[in-house]
Chains A and B, each alone.
Chain A
Amino acid sequence: EKFGLGRAALPEEIAAWDKDVAPDGTGLPAGSGDVLTGEEVFADNCAICHGDFAEGVDNWPKLAGGDGTLADKDPLKTVGSYWPYLSTTWDYVNRSMPFGSAQTMSTDDVYAIVAYILYSNDLVDEDFVLSDENFLDVEMPNAGGFIIDDRETSEAHFWKPEPCMKNCKDTVEITMRAAVLDVTPDEGGTQEATTPAEEAAAAPTPAEEAPVAEAALDPEAVKKGEKVFKKCKACHQVGDTAKNKTGPTLNGIVGASVGARDGFKYSKPMKALADSGAVWSEEELAAFLAKPKKYLKGTKMSFVGLKKETDIVAVTTYLKSFQE
């Protein structure tokens, strides 16, 4: 029985959404990218979380390494050591990355990034070019490392007609205690969750006067800063519709009080800095952006820092274009 509900999907609608790529290459668009281009695109879009060499930053996933560790106590599962199909990497990068700006990269850039990830796993040479034509030639080391769920046979002994009820074992001794590790979060509950209002009240009042508007910003410098800001965009938003994401909003951040964005849950060190009355002057901001973890030990900002001073100046100029 048909209900006659809905309407036919148009070809352009299907093309817009149907982007998944299967192991046999179904769905893979034509294109290509080389390792060296990939290294650049990766540095701009991926390195902030995954590290310059795909080695991973903080708790973000490592994409390279781990060869031969799958039977170890703590296996390192990466694209190289674990992922059985290259299609999965291409598909995931294409549809779901970068984190916070998904589906913003060109097809060729995706090929280039995947080529670079293969290179960082020592699976191809640096002159390698990945394309839809040689895609299926790439051999993934762990392609044969999977079996289909066999619990009903390998664990058939878990189906027991009469489980033991009396005198099932001789002794019961404690072999491990959770209290020894002490990794359980505090109950906290009501105390811990300060409301945004309370947090705002606790924060020092914003710098008494907004800095006097400086000379109009150089549009070229703003443009350059916008490019640098791509490294920040996965976590921070600016503009009219900006919301707190992994990082707080940054409108008007230059000259603002540290740690004062409503509703953002700052790290403890950042809160302490805020309580001291600190302000994001251009100098402080520059020092923070150069080496975040060195400037503020324990900050949640998992970013390695901007190496070039010109980049710091540019991004600060860009941020100033969002002063309120």
Chain B
Amino acid sequence: AGDPLITEMQDWASGLGDGVDETPYGLPISYESDVVRRNVEWLTADTISSINFTPIHALDGTITPQGCAFERHHSGAIDMKKGDYRLMINGLVDTPLVFTYEDLERFPRENRVYFCECAANTGMEWAGAQLNGAQFTHGMIHNMEYSGIPLRTLLEEAGLDAAGDLKDKWVYVEGADASSNGRSIPMEKALDDVLVAFKANGEALRKEHGYPVRLVVPGWEGNMWIKWLRRIEVTDQAVESREETSKYTDTLEDGTSRKWTWVMDAKSIVTSPSPQAPIKHGHGPLVITGLAWSGRGAITGVDVSVDGGKNWQPARLGAPGVDKALTRFYLDYNWQGEEMFLQARAKDSTGYVQPTKTELRETRGENSIYHNNCIQTWWVKSDGEAENVEVS
């Protein structure tokens, strides 16, 4: 007999759908309600100073919709009107300045796509396989198209003659929320590609991403992407705030710690199949897909292994790699129900090759917390279910 969905008249083919004023600002259809950010409750003391995770296992392409892009706050997501927004530039500048939001809209602006990854992404996996799902192991990342002003433009508007030799100068950037989250950025980076952004993916930033204005620090750890940006101070030293000393420093095996580990190394992850996205369709054609990125440059290639790293084959990139942005990869595979140990390995334009967990532990031990960019393994079983494992 024919498929009743075809042979029988369906309601939607006869009756009427919603009118155009049903949802002036659209939300995903109800059938996609499981594609949401999730929180790991035991990670933090409460949900105000906490983090959630992008559902990367359920997304495709490279642009992260704002509504499911991970959030991290230190004193909660604050509610600020554009009219109440002020940005101050002070310190070693010729003229300390104050800008309103409207002022910022009058500077020449650019559009750039960049990934933003929390330095602690995959941090729970240092000591061993722990969380069962790409969302939880690798979901502290998003990738958006930003519209914003080069920070260089604003610094030059205030004038940098007063700073003298710029080589050893810094900018200290600070948010308007109660955590007054602040980080020091070397002047060289500040003048290179940092953006003061007010739109993401074409629309205003969401509250949880720093509405109305945030900093974009391409390729560098997410903690430096100050939200609700309110002050930029030119200084002759790093402030060494809490977020650059007691946190976001990487403790090595001998107890010494690396500081100023700003750049995010090349990394990749198979997003499907994965523990939250098992194979449900039986044998035959299978699309193995995932994401790759590097804070040092563009992704030039991704290799995929189905046997735990014994043998590798080059994956197909969904589009050529973009500087400091997510790249989608695909391996079109014929699966006959065999068990797989799925891995992906990213390579970037500087020649860096994503290391194994063993290689990382050999140089860093297990206490780094941050910057875990190891190769991840999913054990795909004959029934199509997948589990987070470590292999020899």
Contact = CB atoms under 8 A, between A and B. Distances in A.
A14 B48 CA distance: 29
Given A14-B90, A18-B231, A174-B379, A149 B259 contact: yes
B172 A20 contact: yes
Interface in B301-360: 303, 307-313, 341, 345, 347, 350-355, 359
Contact of B88 (A14, A159, A166): A14
Interface in B218-260: 230-231, 233, 235, 237-242, 245-246, 249, 251, 253-260
B353 A163 contact: yes
A178 B388 contact: yes
A75 B49 CA distance: 22
A91 B48 contact: no
Nearest to B359: A158
A245 interface: yes
Interface SS majority for chain A: loop
B311 A165 contact: yes
B208 interface: no
B182 interface: yes
Interface stretch (A77-85, A125-133, A291-299, A306-314): A77-85
Given A92-B241, A102-B178, A168 B251 contact: no
B180 A102 contact: yes
Interface in A47-90: 49, 58-60, 70-71, 73-75, 77, 79, 82-85, 87-88
B22 interface: no
Interface residues of B, number: 101
B352 A159 contact: yes
Interface stretch (B4-12, B97-105, B191-199, B283-291): B97-105
A178 B351 contact: no
B129 A161 contact: no
Nearest to A56: B45
Interface residues of A, number: 87
Given A175-B392, A184-B133, A185-B38, A169 B88 contact: no
Contacts of A95: 180
Contacts of B157: 2-3, 5-6
B240 A17 contact: no
Contacts of A166: 311-312
Contact of A154 (B48, B133, B156, B363): B363
Interface string A1-37: 1110111110001100110111110100000000000
Contacts of B46: 235, 246, 300, 302
Contacts of A201: none
A183 B388 CA distance: 12
Contact of A83 (B90, B235, B239, B245): B245
A269 B131 CA distance: 25
Q: Which of A79, A87, A155, A235: most chain B CB closer than 10 A?
A: A155
Given A14-B90, A59-B45, A184-B132, A85 B240 contact: yes
A75 B255 contact: yes
B353 A84 contact: no
Contacts of B45: 49, 58-60, 302
Given A84-B245, A102-B178, A146-B258, A91 B239 contact: yes
A20 B312 contact: no
Interface in B124-148: 128-133, 136
A234 to B, nearest CB: 10
Interface string A153-181: 01101111101111111011111111101
B162 interface: no
B387 interface: yes
B128 A176 contact: yes
Interface string B79-121: 0000000001111000111111001001100000000000000
Interface string B164-187: 000000001010001110100000
A157 B355 CA distance: 9
Contacts of A185: 38-41, 136
A147 interface: yes
B34 A189 contact: yes
Interface of A: 1-3, 5-9, 13-14, 17-18, 20-24, 26, 49, 58-60, 70-71, 73-75, 77, 79, 82-85, 87-88, 91-92, 95-96, 99-100, 102-103, 145-151, 154-155, 157-161, 163-169, 171-179, 181, 183-185, 187-190, 235, 245-246, 265, 300, 302
Interface of B: 33-34, 36, 38-42, 44-49, 74-76, 88-91, 95-100, 103, 106-107, 128-133, 136, 156-157, 172, 174, 178-180, 182, 230-231, 233, 235, 237-242, 245-246, 249, 251, 253-263, 265, 275-276, 303, 307-313, 341, 345, 347, 350-355, 359, 363, 366-367, 379, 387-392
10 contacts: A6-B99, A7-B98, A13-B88, A18-B90, A96-B178, A102-B75, A146-B259, A165-B303, A189-B34, A246-B47
